[in-house]
């Protein structure tokens, strides 16, 4: 949950844009036309059409993108019960997943606000909850007190837990989840361990080979091709006779004999 709060806080101060320009800049091209980088990220993450979601209210897209930034698309959808750009859909997701509650918020929960009809109209992320106050980070709001839907910026807010505009909370389960950063770090450690184990295996094989060298008693398929001609030459001339077990040559002896042969020590 700390990772979600930290990711949300990174965007505090971001202002929506007047047009489809400078979307990644926090303050450039500020306006009130609902153009944001969060719409772009939302559509890229979840396969939605930018033509539909850009220049639309973006508080819910902000929440979905923050979760996808931290946990990846699939895990974010699992945790939220599905991505959403419309607050009532978010509430429906939470209820369907069985994670909806109306009291006792905790950091990392998703807070839903309601309009005068009781319908969900705005959403944010709980950053802290203590002493009867819930602290939030919200997209498409302002620093003014109370619920400000479509306010144009990412801002930190606070409300009394008894505030009558709070509809409820998505009680996100973080117990068994790791962030993308943690996953990448774990994968890197696993790769490093695999490399160490592989290296150790090679070294052990080399030690075994040194302790128990391969012995070549015959000119057969076991003997390296590069050595056969030399050994055949020496055996045919009576230079290599071996014993009752065969030629009794190891690889170092083969290499020495082949080198000597290539230097012409054994003639043509």
pLDDT of residue 142: 97
pTM, 2 dp: 0.68
Q: Residue 197 domain-assigned?
A: no
- The β-bridge partners of 64 are none
Burial class (CB in 10 A: 0-12, 13-18, 19+), 97: middle
**CATH number assigned to the domain comprising residue 131:** 3.90.1720
Residue 204 lies in a domain: no
Average the pLDDT over 47-65 and give the result.
Answer: 98
Distance from C-alpha of 136 to C-alpha of 150, rounded to nearest angstrom: 16
Residue 22 CB coordination number (10 Å): 16
Residue 146 pLDDT: 96
Per-residue model confidence as pLDDT tens digits over 58-75: 999 999 999 999 999 999
Residue 139 and residue 152 in contact, taking contact as beta carbons nearer than 8 Å: no
- What is the distance in angstroms between the CA of the first residue and the CA of the last residue of the chain? 79
The CA R_g of the chain, rounded to the nearest whole Å, is 35
| Structural domain of 108 | 2-177
At 208 the pLDDT is 63
- 225 and 109 in a common domain: no
Instruction: Calculate mean pLDDT across residues 11-35.
Output: 97
Task: Write the CA distances from 187 to 7, 101, 114, 250, integer angstroms.
Answer: 22, 35, 42, 42
How many separate domains does the chain show? Answer: 2
Helix H or strand E segment including 165: none
Q: Are residues 268 and 149 in the same domain?
A: no
Per the domain annotation, does 184 fall within a domain? no
Same structural domain, 144 and 55: yes
Query: Which residues is 30 bridged to in the sheet?
Result: 17
**What pLDDT is stored for residue 243 in this prediction?**
81
pLDDT at 185: 67
Banded pLDDT at 237 (limits 50, 70, 90)? confident
Q: Is the pLDDT of residue 241 over 90?
A: no
Q: What is residue 177's predicted lDDT score, i.e. its pLDDT?
A: 57
* pLDDT at position 152 over 80: yes
The answer to whether 69 and 7 have CB atoms below 8 angstroms apart is: yes
The confidence score (pLDDT) of residue 61 equals: 98
pLDDT at residue number 183 = 56
**Strands across the sheet containing 100-101:** 100-101, 166-170, 110-114, 120-130, 133-141, 153-160
Residues 231 and 116 in one domain: no
Same domain flag for 170 and 244: no
Task: Give me the pLDDT at residue 41, please.
Answer: 98
- Asked if the structure places residue 240 within a domain, the reply is yes
Residue 231 has a pLDDT of: 87
- Averaged pLDDT score across all residues of the chain: 90
Same domain, 249 and 117: no
pLDDT of residue 186: 61
Residue percentage of the chain with pLDDT more than 90? 65
Residues 172 and 242 in one domain: no
Q: Does 42 fall in a domain? A: yes
Is residue 187, in this structure, part of any structural domain at all? Answer: no
Regarding whether 159 and 26 lie in a shared domain, the answer is yes
In a domain, 80, yes or no: yes
pLDDT tens figures, 76-114:
999 999 999 999 999 999 999 999 999 999 999 999 999
Give the helix/strand (H/E) hosting 110.
strand 110-114
pLDDT at 55 exceeding the cut of 70:
yes
pLDDT at site 134: 98
Of the pLDDT bands very low, low, confident and very high (cuts 50, 70, 90), residue 176 is low
């Amino acid at each position: 949950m700390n990772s979600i709060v930290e990711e949300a806080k990174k965007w505090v101060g971001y202002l929506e844009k007047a047009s489809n320009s400078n979307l990644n800049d926090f303050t450039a091209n500020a306006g009130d036309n609902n153009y944001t980088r969060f719409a772009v990220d939302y559509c890229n993450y979840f396969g939605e059409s930018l033509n539909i979601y850009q220049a639309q209210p973006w508080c819910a897209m902000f929440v979905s993108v923050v979760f996808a930034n931290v946990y990846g698309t699939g895990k974010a959808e699992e945790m939220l019960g599905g991505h959403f750009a419309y607050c009532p859909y978010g509430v429906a997701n939470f209820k369907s997943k069985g994670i909806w509650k109306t009291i006792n918020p905790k950091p990392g929960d998703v807070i839903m606000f309601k309009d005068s009809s009781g319908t969900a109209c705005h959403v944010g992320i709980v950053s802290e909850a203590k002493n009867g106050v819930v602290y939030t980070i919200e997209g498409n709001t302002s620093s003014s007190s109370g619920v400000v839907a479509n306010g144009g910026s990412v801002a930190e807010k606070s409300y009394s837990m008894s505030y009558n505009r709070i509809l409820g909370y998505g009680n996100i389960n973080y117990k068994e989840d790791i962030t993308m950063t943690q996953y990448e770090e774990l994968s890197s450690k696993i790769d490093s361990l695999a490399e160490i184990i592989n290296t150790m295996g090679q070294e052990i094989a080399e030690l075994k080979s040194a302790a128990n060298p391969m012995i070549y008693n015959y000119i057969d398929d076991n003997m390296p091709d590069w050595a056969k001609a030399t050994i055949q030459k020496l055996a045919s001339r009576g230079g290599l006779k071996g014993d009752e077990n065969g030629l009794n040559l190891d690889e170092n002896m083969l290499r020495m004999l082949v080198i000597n042969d290539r230097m012409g020590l054994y003639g043509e």
